Amino acid sequence: MDMVKQTGALQKQRRASFWQRVKRHRWFYIMLLPGMIYFFIYKYLPMWGILIAFQDYQPFKGFSGSQWVGFKHFETFFQDEMFWNLFRNTFVLAIYNIVFFFPMPIIIALMLNEVRKESFKRIIQTLIYVPHFVSWVVVVGISFLFFSTENGIVNQMLSSAGKEPVNFLLSAEWFRTMITSQVIWKETGWGTIIFLAALAGIDPQLYEAARMDGAGRWRQLWHITVPAIRSTIIILLILRIGTFLDTGFEQIFLMVNPLNRDVGEVFDTYVYSSGITQGKFSYSTAVGVFKSIIGLVLVMGANRLAKRFGEDGIY
Amino acid sequence: MVDRSLPSRIWDGIIIVLLLIIAAACILPFIYILAASVTDPAELIKKGFVLFPTKLSLIGYKYILSTHVITSSLGVSISITVIGTLANLFFTALMAYPLAQRELMGVSVIMRLVVFSMLFSGGMIPTYLVVKETGLLDSPASLIIPGLISAFNLIIMRNFFQQLPDGLEEAARIDGCSDVAILFRIVLPLSAPVLASLALFYAVGHWNQYFNAILYINNNAYWPIQVWLRQIVILSQGGIGDSSQFGQDFVPPPAETIKMAVIVLSTLPILIVYPFLQKHFAKGALLGSVKG
């Protein structure tokens, strides 16, 4: 009897202390409320909305009135030849990105690190960060002005050198080169920041000691500088693989046109054109879900890999 | 002790030249666009490439400003950037502060939900449908509310709050200050560096966004400048200027001049503030790499 009474009292006490704690911190909870409502409506409701991928969603019938169709849209998508097309396009762009763009910030950061005059280094940094801050519309717009076949200065130069004009913007074979070059131009400078931070953390005594031992600058670079940023490089590479499918939608959306759609269409642009333009809500949601799930698996795998390398990971 | 040997100096020289070329590659396109936009159209066509125009002309600007399309869309962009950034900062701080309280019940669950929203999302179509259901379609609010709090920035701000010394808040609490007052009177004034960096990133994001406007807004009176920029420069849509204001034998400037003038107008705000705020940007870039 005593025991029962005691537990009952304890429970009551615990419950009381729960509400007391809530009450004591009520202002904290009130402050949390707007943010939680925001995350609920604009982040978690859309996740719930994924269910329309399993329906034949009709806007006028609404979510509850539309018919459930199971995995029909997924099957259609997997059987469509578009599926492999999207996969190939995304994959090739991602490989281009990793091979051609990824090393650029590292190289430039190493070059900046060799500069002894602080003021010169700072001026260069200020200038190379600029392209990061303009919109993709401006970057693509500038490309259109420079590379168009009518009046673009690049083609004017080509023709004054007696060469045939090249259709950089409206042809499939130049699409990937243009996309990757634009990324290199826009993001290389900004990408150096994280490597410069890692380089700034190197103990100057290491260089001192190496010089005592007679190491030249090339050997200092190879044996001190590069090893010091190796873990940063590995982690960024792993994280980049985690976002493998994210091929820069805002940019590709602007660059893609009927003449290069064959190589330019990626998951996100396909979702837009089949969902918003053609109104196939359920089908395009299924395509989006497929991409999101692959993306989630990749990010979690990359994160685990990063942790195995003794790093913190992203979450 | 600095290495002054000849190979070492040649090495330095090569690096300096390469860096100068790279910096020029980043900046010259903007200078060219700016120079060409104020060059007399006839000279531009004749020479093709102009960095130092001999004959200036503002006809491109006069022409695109002869209707209210560009000015009013600049107005839309400015209001979205200002109102949006203030709203972003207010709501991010309001949520980050309680999340920074380690002993508060439920915080870890909410943090997990926030982090998960960074890894997985409903995607474009379900988000579009929610925006539609919440009545934001065709309203400038659709460019602010669906992106009110960035999970990434929220975590950055929370981490910053957590590393502030506890003593000050403790003292204020003993003096009878409420939790809300502590946030606004004590914590936020101490958080100027992080607020500045996040404000810059939110603001640049607002100024540069175009896709949400294409997705959510059909009424072109509410289009921000970036959407018009796409229409004019990339899709080559004409009809921005009003020739009738310039008299009978007026010849509209060539498309190139118009395009360049629009690019300049939409980029200038960023290029003007950039040199002054550069320090904060670079600092802010590293905030993200501080782990949550």
- Domain end (from B184, B210, B236): B210
Chain A contact for B275 (CB, 8 A cutoff): yes
Residues B24 and B101 in one domain: no
Residues B5 and B99 in one domain: no
pLDDT (0 to 100) of residue A125: 94
Complex-level ipTM: 0.91
The minimal CB distance from A254 to the residues B26, B131, B230 is found for B230
Chain B contact for A165 (CB, 8 A cutoff): no
Chain B contact for A221 (CB, 8 A cutoff): no
The minimal CB distance from A138 to the residues B3, B204, B263 is found for B263
Q: Which of B173, B194, B193 is nearest to B182 (CA)?
A: B173
CA distance B110 to chain A (A): 8
Which residue from A minimizes the CA distance to B10? Answer: A217
Judge contact between B137 and B214, C-beta under 8 A.
Answer: no
Query: Model confidence over B244-292: pLDDT tens digits?
Result: 777 777 878 888 899 999 999 999 988 888 888 877 777 777 775 544 3
The rounded distance, in Å, linking the Cα atoms of B4 and B6 is: 7
Is B24 part of a structural domain of the chain? yes
Q: Do B234 and A131 touch (CB under 8 A)?
A: no
Is B249 part of a structural domain of the chain? no
Residues B206 and B142 in one domain: yes
If contacts are CB pairs under 8 Å, which of residues 69-128 in chain A contact chain B?
A: 108, 111-112, 114-116, 120, 123-128
What is the phi/psi pair of residue B166, to 5°? -70, -30
pLDDT (0 to 100) of residue B290: 45
Chain A residues lying within 8 Å of B215, measured CB to CB: 272, 276
Say if residue B238's pLDDT is above 60: yes
Q: Do B123 and A138 touch (CB under 8 A)?
A: no
For residue A120, with 0-12 CB atoms within 10 Å meaning exposed, 13-18 middle and 19 or more buried, which class applies?
middle
Mean pLDDT value of segment B87-114: 95
Q: Do A137 and B97 touch (CB under 8 A)?
A: no
The minimal CB distance from B278 to the residues A35, A129, A296 is found for A129
Is B191 part of a structural domain of the chain? yes
Chain A contact for B268 (CB, 8 A cutoff): no
Which residue from A minimizes the CA distance to B230? Answer: A137
Beta bridge pairs of residue A55: A68
- Domain end (from B210, B239, B254): B210
Residues B198 and B154 in one domain: yes
The rounded distance, in Å, linking the Cα atoms of A85 and A155 is: 31
The identity of residue A242, as a single letter, is G
The minimal CB distance from A312 to the residues B145, B233, B291 is found for B291
Chain B contact for A227 (CB, 8 A cutoff): no
Ordered DSSP codes for B175-209: TT--HHHHIIIIIHHHTHHHHHHHHHHHHHHHHH-
CATH code (residue B92)? 1.10.3720.10
| Three-class DSSP labels, chain A | CHHHHHHHHHHHHHHHHHHHHHHHCHHHHHHHHHHHHHHHHHHHHHHHHHHHHHEECCCCCHHHHCEECCCHHHHHHHHCHHHHHHHHHHHHHHHHHHHHHCHHHHHHHHHHHHCCCHHHHHHHHHHHHHHHHCCHHHHHHHHHHHHCCCCCHHHHHHHHCCCCCCCCCCCHHHHHHHHHHHHHHHHHHHHHHHHHHHHHCCCHHHHHHHHHCCCCHHHHHHHHHHHHHHHHHHHHHHHHHHCCCCCCHHHHHHHCCCCCHHHHCCHHHHHHHHHHHCCCHHHHHHHHHHHHHHHHHHHHHHHHHHHHCCCCCCC
With a pLDDT cut of 70, the percent of chain B lying above it is: 96
The minimal CB distance from A292 to the residues B23, B120, B183 is found for B120
Q: Which of B107, B120, B94, B88 is nearest to B207 (CA)?
A: B88
Q: Do B26 and A46 touch (CB under 8 A)?
A: no
- What six digits make up the tokens of A247? 């091929």
Q: What angle do CA B195, B197, B202 make, to 5 degrees?
A: 90
Residues B47 and B14 in one domain: yes
Mean of the per-residue pLDDT values of chain B: 89
Chain A contact for B168 (CB, 8 A cutoff): no
The rounded distance, in Å, linking the Cα atoms of B49 and B39 is: 10
Low-confidence stretches of chain A (pLDDT beneath 70): 1-16, 310-315
Which residue from B minimizes the CA distance to A170? Answer: B234
| Whole-prediction pTM | 0.90
Count of structural domains, chain B? 2
Enclosing H/E stretch for B78: helix B69-99
Is B115 part of a structural domain of the chain? yes
Chain A contact for B170 (CB, 8 A cutoff): no
pLDDT (0 to 100) of residue A19: 85
- Domain end (from B57, B73, B95): B57
Say if residue B124's pLDDT is above 90: yes
The rounded distance, in Å, linking the Cα atoms of B243 and A22 is: 67
The rounded distance, in Å, linking the Cα atoms of A39 and A148 is: 43
CA distance B91 to chain A (A): 7
Residues B196 and B87 in one domain: yes
State the residue range of the domain holding B47. Answer: 1-57
Is B111 part of a structural domain of the chain? yes
The rounded distance, in Å, linking the Cα atoms of A36 and B86 is: 18
Residues B120 and B185 in one domain: yes
Residues B102 and B202 in one domain: yes
If contacts are CB pairs under 8 Å, which of residues 89-108 in chain B contact chain A?
A: 91-92, 94-95, 97-99, 101, 104-105
Mean pLDDT value of segment B77-82: 96
Residues B86 and B202 in one domain: yes
Is B289 part of a structural domain of the chain? no
The minimal CB distance from B229 to the residues A137, A194, A288 is found for A137
CA distance A277 to chain B (A): 10
Is B271 part of a structural domain of the chain? no
- Tell me the pairing of strands A55-56 and A67-68: antiparallel
pLDDT (0 to 100) of residue B3: 61
Residues B37 and B88 in one domain: no
Query: Model confidence over A42-91: pLDDT tens digits?
Result: 999 999 999 999 999 988 888 888 899 999 999 999 999 999 999 999 99
Is B274 part of a structural domain of the chain? no
Residues B123 and B187 in one domain: yes
Residues B86 and B42 in one domain: no
The rounded distance, in Å, linking the Cα atoms of A173 and B76 is: 38
